[in-house]
Amino acid sequence: MTAEYFLVLGLIGVAFFAVAGALLGYEKNISGFGVVVVATVTALGGGTLRDILLSKPIFWIETPDYLYSTYAAIIATVLLIRYLPSVNNYYFLVVDAIGMAIFNIMGIEKALISGSGLVVAITMGITTGIFGSLIRDVICREVPSVMRNEPYASACLAGGLVYAALFSQDISYIWCILGSLITTISLRLGSLHWGWHITIFRKKDREVSQKSEVQNS
């Protein structure tokens, strides 16, 4: 039962991230085959790193369905954009948030199955959730989402804590997943909509100009 949920969630997760990658490629006006590369890296990067770290076979090599799901989502997105060119940045953020929330859970789950403790599992969830989009942003020369002062990795962390709390109460698996998904997605999208942000450091006046340079360059 768990394995089936896992596969379905995973296929949906890679598809969402593939769409997010293709949309960013479109935004950055990469018109060639590079769009496929960026979208594939976004979709498979986080889970690949998770499997490498846990010394498991890479998920898309063991189960090529993930690869087919990725390629199908990319082709669908490319066709959609060609015929509906009004797609905008808002869709990208929603799709990216859903993908991140799903991968966060999958990272936690797979680490727990491998016998890791909770701190390692939550770290693995964050890694799985943010790594694909981190590589995508680096390749596209964007400021990585995780470096902006909006909840991103912290939305993964919150989703992970909710998952752990529900799981420890022996609540049914499907509710653990839903609770974590809703927490991560609503924190991420809520923060974008209402401008929530986390401040660990008080801003330094002398570097405000330097900061804006980083964010805009």
The binder of a copy of itself chosen from 19, 105, 106, 126 (CB under 8 A): 126
The binder of a copy of itself chosen from 52, 171, 174, 182 (CB under 8 A): 52
Determine the Cα–Cα distance for residues 130 and 157; give it in Å rounded to an integer. 11
Nearest approach in angstroms of CB 179 to a copy of itself is 21
Q: Which is nearer to a copy of itself, 12 or 150 (CB)?
A: 150
* Number of shown-chain residues binding a copy of itself (CB under 8 A): 70
The span of 6-14, 25-33, 161-169, 180-188 binding a copy of itself (CB under 8 A) equals 25-33
Question: Which residues ranging from 147 to 206 are in contact with a copy of itself (CB under 8 A)?
Answer: 147-154, 157, 197-204
Nearest approach in angstroms of CB 193 to a copy of itself is 17
Q: Which residues bind a copy of itself (CB under 8 A)?
A: 26-38, 40, 48, 52-55, 57-58, 60-61, 64, 67-68, 71, 78, 81-82, 85, 111, 116-117, 119-120, 123, 126, 130, 134, 138-141, 143-144, 146-154, 157, 197-204, 207-208, 210-211, 214, 217
